[in-house]
Amino acid sequence: MWNALLLLILWVAPAAAQYNCDAGCSLDPALMGQPVCGSDGISYANGCLAFCQGVKFTAGSCGGEGDRLEQIDLSGQTEVITREIMSRFAKESFRFVTKEIDFSRDPIRDFIHNSNVFSSSVSPDGFDTVRVTSEGYKFISKVKSFAKIQGPTPSYEGRIAENQPRLRKRKLVVIGEDTRTMVPDSTIFPYRTMGGLDFDFSDSGCTLTMISPTSGITAAHCLYDRAAKMTFNVTRFAPGRFYDPGQIDNTTEPFGTWDVDYTSYFKGWEESGNEIYDMGVVTFKKRRRRFLGIFSVYPGEFVGYLSIDRVGEDNSNVTDARFSNMTITGYPYDMKHKMITTGLCPNAPFSTKPKYIYHTCDTMPGMSGAATLTNDNKVLGVHNGAHNNPIAPGRVNGATVLTPEYFDIVSSWAGLTSQAPQTCTCAEFGSRRIARLICNLRNFGACLGR
């Protein structure tokens, strides 16, 4: 025991002399040094960030995607990361790692639908969670055991249902000779739970569907640009947006927009680009809606949200028969700002591996992230793009689906569970009581305070 205590003192003393956690950690490497590799296998922008979150570290990043930290130039960044920022998601076992200061502005459609970007590799840490806030603060959680809830989750038509007669109505339009049709009225349930996901460089770059009061589901490639190795600056959500030639930008947002609070997605998407990781959740801030007598609400409280459910699978592929009647609704670029539904797909989807299906629904760029819906409006997954058909010549579309493991994870991301931590962030110290006590004191909100 005394040897362990001596080693702890030898580790803590020099770091404690160098870092003042109460004052926070600067991002400037001239003050705090270069990236480090934590004993938890997570790379941190500097040693102060690791130390103040109770993590031992060694010089240099951990490798893999962590090496990207060494490519981010934080020189001159005067912002100080406070304890409050570091511990914002501590109850979910997230640790602050860095701040994103540059964002991708590449059009999503150029590198998803026009090229085969998906990888067959599987990352050993693929199911770790990445979370990026609207300020650019980046967090990582290595928790892989999530609270289980009974599926399907509830759906809700929203407070707006009480005011439905006040909303503008629209005419049905059939598009060309293909199988797609324009949604007759995007202000009615369930269509008003879907909408355009906007970026700092583009409106309606992807489609999102609300699945809880606070959060909606979409594709991970709408949140992180694998080609540029940068996150996208996702800014807002416009539920029920529709084409309106009477407006300057040809669109109307019948319920207004909601600003993004943070995004959550699999680290495996960053590291490997494997399509099985191409799923994410966006959580929004409250917004005032005084014109309907509501002071401040989340989008799901206002427009409603859809149910999600577990998808059946065996050891090698997805087996859920409900996909044979699925539809996809979103915002294809070739019909900009029009909400389009595919109707039933021409052929039944098929699967050759876990967590993924291939389908022939008539989709186009812009529908990335759109939910795959059953005939009773349950969300079973998200459409993510076109790539090579694995069993025949030609191209085919694909969707990442909510297998039991993903259902539990996405439910947690969307706030459908208690989101209580499965383990305290200081669990790595095991039976070393003094070391664990020191870590607990530094992480009071996540450990002792829960």
CA gap 230, 28 in Å, rounded: 20
Residue with tokens 């529908």: 367
Give a yes or no: residue 146 inside a domain.
Answer: no
In a domain? residue 145? no
Cα–Cα distance, 450 to 170 (Å, whole number) = 50
What distance lies between CA 95 and its chain's CA centroid?
16
Residue 131 lies in a domain: no
Instruction: Measure Cα distances from 41 to 50, 62, 301, 333, 370 in Å.
Output: 11, 6, 38, 40, 33
**Alpha-carbon span 240 to 196, nearest angstrom:** 8
Residue 258: inside a domain? yes
One domain, residues 430 and 292: no
- 186 found inside a domain: yes
- Please answer whether residues 369 and 342 qualify as being in contact, where contact means their C-beta atoms are separated by less than 8 angstroms: no
For residue 87, what are the domain limits? Answer: 2-93+421-442
Is residue 410 within 8 A of residue 310, CB to CB? The reply is no
> DSSP characters for 327-382?
EEEE--GGGTT--EE--S-SS--EEEETTEEEE-----TT-TTPEEE-TT-EEEEE
Q: State both tokens at 448.
A: 């002792």
Encoded tokens for 193: 């739970």
Residues 59 and 87 in one domain: yes
- Closest Cα partner for 303 from 187, 416, 410? 187
Residue 437 and residue 399 in one domain: no
Angstrom distance (rounded) from CA 322 to CA 90: 37
Question: 239 with 376, same domain?
Answer: yes
Owner of token pair 């979370």? 131
Q: Cβ distance 340 to 180 under 8 Å?
A: yes
Identify the pLDDT of residue 73.
81
240 and 357 within one domain: yes
SS3 90: helix
- Of the candidates 325, 397, 315, 403, the one whose C-alpha atom is nearest the C-alpha of residue 358 is 397
pLDDT by residue for the chain (450 residues), tens digit each? Answer: 445 444 443 444 455 558 999 999 999 999 999 999 999 999 999 999 999 999 999 999 998 655 677 667 888 888 999 999 999 999 999 999 999 988 887 767 544 434 344 555 555 567 899 999 999 999 999 987 788 888 899 999 998 876 554 443 333 322 233 455 777 788 999 999 999 999 887 666 789 999 999 999 999 999 999 888 899 999 999 999 887 777 777 778 899 999 999 999 999 998 888 999 999 999 999 998 765 566 789 999 999 999 999 998 887 789 888 988 888 888 877 667 778 877 777 788 888 888 999 987 766 666 889 999 998 999 999 998 877 888 888 888 889 999 999 999 999 999 998 533 334 445 545 566 776 676 555 544 434 333
How many Å separate Cα 448 from the centre of its chain?
Answer: 28
Measured distance CA(231)–CA(238) in Å, rounded: 20
| Residues 173, 79: Cα–Cα separation, whole Å | 51
Joined together, the tokens standing for residue 422 give: 């499965």
Largest separation between any pair of C-alpha atoms in the chain: 79
Both 366 and 426 in one domain: the answer is no
pTM across the whole model:
0.83
Whether residue 428 is found in the same domain as residue 359: no
The pLDDT of residue 33: 93
Considering the domain architecture, whether residues 85 and 169 belong to the same structural domain is answered as: no
Distance CA 217, CA 209 (A): 5
| Number of structural domains found in the chain | 2
Instruction: For residue 280, list its beta bridge partners.
Output: 218, 265
Structure tokens at 244: 């309106």
- What are the backbone angles phi and psi of residue 320, rounded to the nearest 5°? -75, 120
Beta-bridge partner residues of 138 = 98, 132
Rounded distance, CA 156 to CA 298, Å? Answer: 13
Residue 240: give its domain's CATH number: 2.40.10.10
On whether both 62 and 23 belong to a single domain, the answer is yes
> Are 182 and 74 in the same domain?
no
Percent of the chain with pLDDT over 90: 44
Q: Does 376 fall in a domain?
A: yes
* 248, 214: one domain: yes
Q: Would you say how long the chain is, in residues?
A: 450
Task: Show Cβ contacts of residue 399 under 8 Å, excluding neighbours closer than 6 positions.
Answer: 349, 356, 357, 359, 372, 381, 382, 383, 384
Query: Is the same domain home to 279 and 391?
Result: yes
In a domain, 366, yes or no: yes
Structural domain contains residue 276: yes
